[in-house]
Every structure is written in C-alpha cells, then in structure tokens.
Structure 1
C-alpha cells in the first residue's frame, strides 16, 4: 500500500491487518512507518517509479494508493507509473484501489464541487491532482482494473469506526441533515470491504453515513 504513513493510509493499513490480510506498507522513509500493526511489512518506495511499483506489485492481489499532498503532478505520475507497471505484469497483475478526492463529485445542480464558486482556494491543488488522476483512470482500456473511492467533499476527518456506511456513485451520500460525512476509520472499512468483495470495478464510488 502506497501512502501508508498518511492519515487515511495508517487507518487502511490497520483495518486490513486487523482482518488478517498480508499488508506491505510503503512510504518514502522507514521512519514514517515506525509504528505499524503486528505482521505488516514496512518498505521504502516511490509510487511514481514504475520499476519500484512493478517489484512490489508482482506478488500482490491489490495495490492501494492513499497518496496525497499539494503537488498536483504527484497523482497523475502515480497513476501513470502504476498503470505502466501493471501492464508489464499482464493478466497476473493486481488491481488498483485508489483513495480519490471528493471534489469531482456532483452537487445538487449536477456541477462538480470543484467548479462551484465557493470551492476553497486552499484545497484546489489537492483537488486538481485527484481530478486529473480520476480522468486518467477513465481514459484507460480494460488492460488494468481499478477502483476510485471518493470521500465526501467536505466532512471527512478522523473519528470513530462504526462499521456502517452507505455507498453511492457520482453524487455524495447525504444524511438526514443534508450533509455528506464519514470518518477516516469508516472510509478505511469501506475500502477494505471493496478489496474483499469488489463491486465497483473500473469505476468510481463514494461513501457516507
């Protein structure tokens, strides 16, 4: 799993390990992986390097990308490197599960949240990177299998793991208060559920309470 040291990544690692999966946690520095659940293998690696990805993907069932940061190029470089590596492995290669962004979800007017006039300026670099990554997946042929999981566009933060959530496709899943929200912990549960029981191959989905 690339991005294993991040806020979401650490929770996905913990969720998968708790269910008994063999997890390889990948980060640029081993120092970032100092605290991992028992049985998780720490590895240094660069998600934008196809050779590194290919080596780690060779014996994997799924490649999970929970990468992030304000560098818009990181996201598309990661998709490009991962796709190149998996195409090199052929049909035996794993599928991709990508932690996406919520800015490409559609609001009640059918407009992407990113394109709404009140979209926060400080989040734009992250949103642009994730939108471009999503577009890159949509442009792929069927030689690579992927899933892109969008969190809610606003209310997404560390919290409680309830194990309960609902799924949607291109519009946020809203609760009785009209807001879409989920904790990092339940997002991680949803992502690992998708790994175990794939329901959204070669498409995006989203989760919320």
Structure 2
C-alpha cells in the first residue's frame, strides 16, 4: 500500500510516518523543507503547490496539516480544499488529522466540546477554524475522505500504549472517565484506518483505552 503523508515534518505527521513505515507500508513524506521523518521517499513541495500528478498512484493521502498562529488559522480550510480539489473524482482516500473541539456532546448533535463553559478560551479560535474546515469537508461528495478526531486531551509526548477505543461523532470517554490519547496511539489508529478502515465520508474519533 502506497501512502503520502502531507506535512510529514509536523509532530503528528512524523509519528504517522513512523508507524506506517514500521508496518511495511510504502511511505512518501511531503515536506516543505528537509525531511525529518523516516519515510523512504520524499516530495519536497509546499502543500499548496501539490498537483494531481504529484499524488497520482497513491492509495491514501494523509493530511497532517496543523496551524496555531491566529494569522494561519484560515489555512485549515484552504489547505484541505486544495487537497480535496486535486483528489476530486479519484479513488485515492484522504485521511485527515482532525480536532476534538467539534465532537458532539449531546445526542441531538447541537452542542460541541468547544461550546462548553470550561473549554479554554485560548483554544477557541483553533477549534472554530477546524470546525469550519470539517463543515466544508462534509460538503465534498467527490472525495473519499475520513476525518479522525483525537480525544480532548491530545498529548504530543504521551506514551504509546498500543490500545485505543474507536468512536464516532460524539465525544467518548474510556473506563476511567478520561478523554485522552497520545500522538503515538493516534498514529496507530490512523494507520489502522488506512489499512483496514472503510469510514468513507465519515468523521470518527479515538480515545485511549
């Protein structure tokens, strides 16, 4: 299986590459600058310069784009739109490293994590930008996308336990009542979805078991 990881030098991207390589997938890292991952192949290009030809022949493209600075937040929408446009009408799957703020906290799907009174104010602009990108993605019926939301507490330096619980649109908790997952366990879930998943045009979520 051939996969391309876009923004492979990011914290999530590097771990997805590592997990995929260790499982024997044929991995290409798409990076703007020198590759810091263990991918055997590299495309050195800005995400916005990628073309349909660059991504032809892959089975799955992973979008690991991340932006936190206020001026860069619109990139969540524009970068995802660009990838969708160049994958439109193809059989190439697009798996997106998503956010947790847009997960629903009621069965009516009218309230999200980011709507909670205890949601940190500092993260609201990011959650809003990622929710907007997801909303726009839901309108793309021409792309085989899967959006994977992490747990509320997404830990970059967290341990790799090798276990997780798969959820859907609603925030789920583990047996300890936690919404937590490490980047390493998230990478396991991402590669599982790449190799075995069939959640086409769906948002799924993961939490540490």
Give your verdict on TM over 0.5: yes
More strand as a share of residues? 2
More helix as a share of residues? 1
How do residues 108-119 of structure 1 correspond to structure 2 at under 5 angstroms? Answer: 111-119=111-119
Residue 197 of structure 1 corresponds to which residue in structure 2? 196
Does the CA contact (< 8 Å) of 2:150 and 2:181 recur in 1? yes
- CA deviations 1:22-59 (Å, max 9, x no partner) are 111112212xx2x332x52122222234xx14232112
Does the CA contact (< 8 Å) of 1:53 and 1:81 recur in 2? no
Distance (whole Å) between structure 1 residues aligned to residue 124 and residue 52 of structure 2: 31
Residue 184 of structure 1 corresponds to which residue in structure 2? 183
Q: Count how many residue pairs are aligned between Structure 1 and Structure 2.
A: 199
- In structure 1, runs of 5+ residues without a counterpart are none
Among residues 10, 17, 39, which one is paired with 1:13 in the alignment? 17
TM-aligned CA deviation for residue 155 of structure 1: 4.2
Does the CA contact (< 8 Å) of 1:46 and 1:53 recur in 2? no
Question: Given the two structures, how large is their TM-score scaled by the length of structure 1?
Answer: 0.88
Residue 106 of structure 1 corresponds to which residue in structure 2? 104
TM-aligned CA deviation for residue 73 of structure 1: 1.1
Residue 79 of structure 2 corresponds to which residue in structure 1? 78
1:171 aligned counterpart, secondary structure: coil
TM-aligned CA deviation for residue 7 of structure 1: 1.1
Does the CA contact (< 8 Å) of 2:165 and 2:174 recur in 1? no
2:166 aligned counterpart, secondary structure: strand
Does the CA contact (< 8 Å) of 1:72 and 1:128 recur in 2? no
Distance (whole Å) between structure 1 residues aligned to residue 126 and residue 7 of structure 2: 15
Distance (whole Å) between structure 2 residues aligned to residue 167 and residue 199 of structure 1: 13
- In structure 2, runs of 5+ residues without a counterpart are none
Residue 31 of structure 2 corresponds to which residue in structure 1? 27
Residue 120 of structure 2 corresponds to which residue in structure 1? 120
List structure 1 segments (4+ residues) > 6 angstroms apart after TM superposition: none
- CA deviations 1:169-197 (Å, max 9, x no partner) are 01223122311111111100000000001
Question: Given the two structures, how large is their TM-score scaled by the length of structure 2?
Answer: 0.88
Residue 53 of structure 2 corresponds to which residue in structure 1? 55
Give the root-mean-square deviation of aligned CA atoms. Answer: 1.7
Distance (whole Å) between structure 1 residues aligned to residue 113 and residue 48 of structure 2: 27
Residue 64 of structure 2 corresponds to which residue in structure 1? 66
2:47 aligned counterpart, secondary structure: coil
- The alignment status of 1:165 with 2:169, answered yes or no, reads no
